[in-house]
Amino acid sequence: MTDQSPQPASPPRLTHIREDGSAQMVDVSDKAVTKRTATAEAYFVSRSDVIAQVIAGDLPKGEALGTARVAGIMAAKRTWELVPMCHPLPISKVTVDFEAQGDRVRVIASVTTKGVTGVEMEALTAASVAALTLYDMTKAVDKHAEITGVRVLAKSGGKSGDWAIDGVN
């Protein structure tokens, strides 16, 4: 009698890994050019009085939100230099926005391109570096601040189409 139980499906082959297990940059030359967007978030967490200073632009190092916005935009444009397997992309637009939420600031970064690969890494990098900049700007007043919740919220374009976390537009 032969075993008729279903065999587990083999995991999908990762395109950044060669047959010998070493890393490679994916060849995207045959992919279609489409408009692609991605949105990511990160949270800068501190005491509520420090968040009030951030929002008011009243920190010893100066106005943090504007500085963090520029840092996030610059970081998105340089993601390919920071993350080894990312392709350099012709970024069309980057936005970095902030929402104060009690003891935290939500950083929301969106990136758009018209190209052959997505911009999720660029959005994650923008959100992360903006949050890191808030940390840098506030560390003199709160050494216990944290960065948390870095994640992709949504993406559109490309072969896999549109995707969003449930409840996120």
Classify 128 as helix, strand or coil. Answer: helix
Of residues 11 and 62, more confidence is placed in 62
The type of residue at 39 is T
Q: Which of 3, 49, 97, 136 is catalytic?
A: 136
Instruction: Place 96 in a pLDDT band, splitting at 50, 70 and 90.
Output: very high
Q: Which residues contact 92 (CB under 8 A, 6 or more apart)?
A: 112, 113, 114
Please state the pTM of the whole predicted model. Answer: 0.86
The answer to whether position 24 is within a domain reads no
Please state the domain count of the chain: 1
Residue 99: is its pLDDT beyond 70? yes
Mean pLDDT of 1-9: 59
Q: Look up 166 and say whether it is catalytic.
A: no
CATH at residue 78: 3.30.70.640
Helices (H) and strands (E) in the chain, counts: 4, 5
Six-digit token pair at 25? 């940059």
The answer to whether position 107 is within a domain reads yes
**Residue 88 structural domain:** 37-158
Mean pLDDT of 99-123: 96
